[in-house]
């Protein structure tokens, strides 16, 4: 069982500029096969943008994803955690703020992301959530599409 966030987080972070369009963000998510990106400028993390944010906060309202910025739709001021913080602290923050993902920030710069699935794989590898989180997306296997 992991003790610190660094041991369970997904290292590296995909970011978009605050002024990036939702189309740009969605294309990046598709290319990277991820469901979220951090919205960040040179100085700090501004927010977290998920595929669900794009669908529910923009597309469902009829907004033009070519003209709406990532900053306008993202969840602002995300709760973050440090890579050397205890995994228990990450669990507590997720519970307190009812979030599924936490940016991992060191010295003001994003260095990774820890998700509910990452924690499930680490803390309870036999759980259904761990099974789902460890599965390849879209029913793929190591050999390719299912």
User: What was the pLDDT predicted at 118?
Assistant: 87
Tens digit of each residue's pLDDT (9 = 90 or more) over 97-107 = 999 899 999 98
Residue in the block written with tokens 């990046």: 28
Tens digit of each residue's pLDDT (9 = 90 or more) over 26-57 = 999 999 999 999 999 887 899 999 999 999 99
Does the pLDDT at position 127 exceed 90? no
Distance CA 110, CA 123 (A): 23
**Domain boundaries along the sequence of the chain:** 5-137
Fold classification of 5-137 is CBS-domain (3.10.580)
| Helix 87-97 × helix 116-123 angle, to 10° | 140
Distance CA 115, CA 118 (A): 5
Q: What is the mean pLDDT of residues 110-132?
A: 72
Distance CA 135, CA 140 (A): 8
pTM summary value? 0.79
The band of 73, judged by pLDDT with boundaries at 50, 70 and 90, is: very high
Distance CA 110, CA 6 (A): 12
The band of 146, judged by pLDDT with boundaries at 50, 70 and 90, is: very low
Percent of residues in the chain assigned helix, strand, coil, to nearest 5: 40, 25, 35
């Amino acid at each position: 069982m992991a003790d610190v966030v660094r041991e369970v987080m997904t290292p590296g972070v995909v970011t978009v500029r605050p002024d990036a369009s939702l189309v740009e963000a969605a294309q990046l998510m598709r290319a990277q096969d991820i469901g979220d990106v951090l919205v960040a400028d040179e100085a700090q993390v501004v927010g977290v943008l998920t595929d669900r944010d794009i669908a529910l906060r923009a597309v469902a309202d009829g907004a033009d994803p070519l003209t709406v910025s990532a900053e306008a739709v993202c969840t602002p001021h995300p709760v973050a955690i440090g890579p050397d913080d205890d995994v228990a602290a990450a669990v507590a923050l997720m519970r307190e703020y009812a979030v599924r993902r936490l940016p991992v920030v060191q010295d003001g710069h994003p260095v990774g992301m820890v998700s509910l699935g990452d924690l499930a794989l680490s803390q309870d590898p036999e759980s259904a959530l761990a099974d789902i989180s460890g599965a390849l997306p879209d029913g793929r296997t190591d050999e390719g599409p299912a």
